[in-house]
Amino acid sequence: IEKDATPFKLIGEEKLSMLVDAFYRRVGKHPDLFPIFPDDLTETARKQKQFLTQYLGGPPLYTEEHGHPMMRARHLPHPITPTRAQAWLGCMKEAMDEVGLEGQIRDEFFARLTLTARHMVNITEEEL
C-alpha cells in the first residue's frame, strides 16, 4: 500500500457516494430515524458526502462550503438517543453490505463511525 493511500482513496469517490445514497434510503424508512430527518434527504446526502470525504482523509469539501464541522454542536438541535445512534449505525452497516464495502477498510471505518455516533448522543431515552 502506498504511503499516501488514505481511506478515501482506498474506498473511492464513487463507492462512497453509493454508500451514502444506500444509507439515506434506509434512514428515510427507519422508524427511529425518519421522524427527525427532513422528508427530502437530497441536501443531507450531499453534505454527508462532503463530510465523509474529508473524514476519510480526502479533500476538505465540507469545511470549504460550511466551515468547521463541529459535528456534535450541529447535531444538538436534533434529539439523539442511544437508540437512534444504534439505528444510525444499523443503517450504515446495511449500506456497507449493499455496496460491498468489506475487509479491514470497512472494519476501521465502521469502528470510527461507532465512536462518532456515540459522541453525537445528546439526550437519554427518558428525557425524550
| H or E element, residue 43 | helix 42-55
Q: How far apart are CA 105 and CA 7, in angstroms?
A: 7
Q: Which residue has the cell 499516501?
A: 4
Q: How far is the CB of 34 from ligand HEM (least distance, A)?
A: 10
Nearer to ligand HEM by Cβ, of 2 and 48: the residue is: 48
Binding mask 79-98 for ligand HEM (x = CB under 6 A): -x---xx--x----------
Q: Are 117 and 89 in contact (CB under 8 A)?
A: yes
The region of 1-9, 15-23, 68-76, 93-101 touching ligand HEM under the rule CB under 6 A is: 68-76
Q: How far is the CB of 2 from ligand HEM (least distance, A)?
A: 26
Find the largest Cα–Cα distance for the chain.
49
Say which residues have a Cβ less than 8 Å from residue 65's Cβ, sequence separation at least 6. 50
> Could you say whether residue 48 binds ligand HEM (CB under 6 A)?
yes
- Measured between its terminal Cα atoms, the distance across the chain in Å is 47
Closest by Cα among 49, 124, 47 to 84: 124
> Could you say whether residue 74 binds ligand HEM (CB under 6 A)?
yes
Nearer to ligand HEM by Cβ, of 14 and 39: the residue is: 39
Interface residue list for ligand HEM (CB under 6 A): 36-38, 43-44, 47-48, 51, 55, 66, 71, 74-75, 78, 80, 84-85, 88, 113, 116-117, 120
